[in-house]
Chain A
Amino acid sequence: MAFLPLTDSAVPIVARAKGFAEQQGIALSLVRTTSWATLRDRLVYGQVQAAHMLAPLAVAVSLGLSQQRAAIAAPFRLNVNGNALVMSPGFAAALDPDPEQRVTDPLATAHDFAAAIGLHHRKPLIGVVHRFSSHALMLRYWLASAGIDPDRDVVLRVLPPSLMVEAMRGGEIDGFIAGAPWPNIAVAEGLAEMIAIGALIWQRGIEKVLAFRADWLEAHPDAVDRLLVAMASAAAWCDDPRNRDELAQLLSAPEHVGEAAEHLRPALAGRMLLRAQGPTIDVPDFLHFHREAAGFPWRSQALWIYSQLVRWRMAEPSSENERAAAETFRPDVYRRALGRIDVPMPGASMKLEGAIGKPLGVGAHRGTLTLGPDRFFDGRVFDPHDIAGYLSGLPSRRP
């Protein structure tokens, strides 16, 4: 299984290191990879059988938007949320001076950001990890809410997460959006300030998925099921606060993330430093792995990704593309694999995204399942049955 060194690679790392994979009779070996392109190629060409993949990249490969087309199957989400946008102190100076106010009011901050663009000495250069990343889609969504055209008013520069901090230090970029620990490191080192937090832009955002080649997944149902059980057990372990220190230590090993545990702990604990030597804020949902059926691959979220790809003219709107995107997520496989263990199982495979304001009990096949609030900061609701209607209400790329 290929992975990129990020805090949210925790579940596969724990599945191997804590023996959850072995308990299921899976000899899991992890292949550390430094670019999404290489992770994609290793998966598509069968050098690995599974990957820790950006959810939008999984959809894009299925749609043939990222080099070689291949049907990808994602039966499990490896985490929820985990991203943050940071900008240089110089740029941040033009925003609300209270950093807590900034991150807790994303709508106001987006408007301040729009005003700050004109004051900056150049078009702001913002690092994103990949065009088909949740981070880039979230950043575009947030910028556009304040009338900023992300393809015209800012420059989005693709850089691997592990090079963001160096690019910041060298002044090559003015800010970046990436997964933990990289934003945390940039802030701790005084290179940047926290501007927006993924979990406050979309409270239950889509992030990494466990991806297979669809043909491999179909041919090896038993191995897939056992791997999913291992991942679900590992995810439960990762979410347990008692394991946080051990998890941070484990991730800090050079063969895993390879950064100091002190930089890894904040994301796990949901305690974010907003400015060097400055205040912290508690964001309990900053990154989580297990609770609220976090692993369940909602097809409505695959379709939300599709809607954003269409919105930014990265994908053609068509019923074939819509179907291929939805079919990338495989709740059927999740149900088959995890039906035999004790996890709450959602009754539906799609839901309105952004409609839950406070914790809500939902229909489940077993046990009780409570879903946490999943609002977008602008209050919009995504109805997967009316994508065209949703898109017509959103500002989009100018032709």
Chain B
Amino acid sequence: MRIVIVDDSGPRASVLEEGLREAGYDDIHLVPPRGAFVARLERMAPDVVLMDLGSPSRDTLEEMLVVSRALARPIAMFVDQSDEAMIGAAIDAGVSAYVVDGLRKERVKPVLDLAIRRFSAFARMQAELDEARTALADRKTIDRAKAILMNHRGLGEADAYTLLRTTAMNQGRRIVDVASALITASSLLGEQH
């Protein structure tokens, strides 16, 4: 069974490819949806195409599936009306699947299940990474604000932090917002730090 993954995100496509290989599928190709990608895809004559639901190029792909004369058998969206939950899960996970006519449901379902799991896991990982990045950036901002307070008010590090926290609590704002306001104000006053 030849599987083509059409995806813009290198890491996500790799995560999916790896999963499929572990599951024993070995005829897997990655195609980024750029330029003349449909012509490449057409030549590959895939049995299954997995594509990011968020890709703006889905309309281009579907058009090829309708008009292609090169494909021996028609390919259509994998839809199993008996399994609404699965369709919902696929859309939630951001994956769409196109399957060649005549391929049995039992053969396709494990591939799609795996794609859904991997896409979801990737989205979770991405969210966690974004969160971690934000946390790191916040910590840097707070450190700079602390340094300003330590310089100007002769406070120790712990006291500088307590002052930021108390101010934030009194104003009902987040510590990082108070810290960045302090940094802005300080730079407007021409301070160097």
A residues apposed to B, CB below 8 Å:
34-38, 41-42, 45-47, 66-68, 129-131, 157-160, 162-163, 170, 172
Which A residues touch B88, using CB under 8 A?
45-47
Which A residues touch B92, using CB under 8 A?
47
Asked if B57 and A35 make an inter-chain contact with CB atoms under 8 angstroms apart, the answer reads yes
Asked if B62 and A67 make an inter-chain contact with CB atoms under 8 angstroms apart, the answer reads yes
Asked if A162 and B35 make an inter-chain contact with CB atoms under 8 angstroms apart, the answer reads no
Other than the given A35-B58, A131-B63, A162-B56, 19 more pairs (CB < 8 A) read A34-B54, A34-B55, A35-B56, A37-B59, A38-B54, A38-B58, A41-B53, A42-B91, A45-B84, A45-B87, A45-B88, A47-B92, A67-B79, A130-B63, A131-B66, A157-B60, A158-B60, A158-B62, A163-B57
Which listed residue, A38, A46, A157, touches B53 by the CB 8 Å rule? A38
Asked if B62 and A37 make an inter-chain contact with CB atoms under 8 angstroms apart, the answer reads yes
Residue with the highest number of chain A CB atoms closer than 10 Å, among B53, B59, B84: B59
A10–B59 CA distance with the chains assembled, in angstroms: 23
Chain A, interface SS category: loop
Asked if A35 and B59 make an inter-chain contact with CB atoms under 8 angstroms apart, the answer reads yes
**Given A35-B55, A37-B58, A45-B91, are A67 and B63 also a contact pair (CB < 8 Å)?**
no
Which B residues touch A67, using CB under 8 A?
62, 76-77, 79
Asked if A130 and B59 make an inter-chain contact with CB atoms under 8 angstroms apart, the answer reads yes
Which A residues touch B58, using CB under 8 A?
35, 37-38
Asked if B53 and A159 make an inter-chain contact with CB atoms under 8 angstroms apart, the answer reads no
Interface size of B in residues (CB-CB distance below 8 Å): 22
Asked if B54 and A68 make an inter-chain contact with CB atoms under 8 angstroms apart, the answer reads no
State the Cβ distance, B60 to closest chain A Cβ, in Å.
5
Residue with the highest number of chain A CB atoms closer than 10 Å, among B58, B63, B84, B87: B58
Which A residues touch B57, using CB under 8 A?
35, 160, 163
Q: Nearest CB to that of B76 among chain A residues?
A: A67
Asked if A41 and B56 make an inter-chain contact with CB atoms under 8 angstroms apart, the answer reads no
Q: Nearest CB to that of B96 among chain A residues?
A: A41
Residue with the highest number of chain A CB atoms closer than 10 Å, among B54, B62, B76, B88: B62
* CB-defined A-B contacts under 8 Å, sample of 26: A34-B54, A35-B59, A36-B59, A37-B58, A37-B59, A38-B53, A38-B54, A38-B58, A41-B91, A41-B96, A45-B84, A45-B88, A45-B91, A47-B92, A66-B62, A67-B62, A67-B76, A67-B77, A67-B79, A130-B63, A131-B63, A131-B66, A157-B60, A160-B59, A160-B60, A172-B35
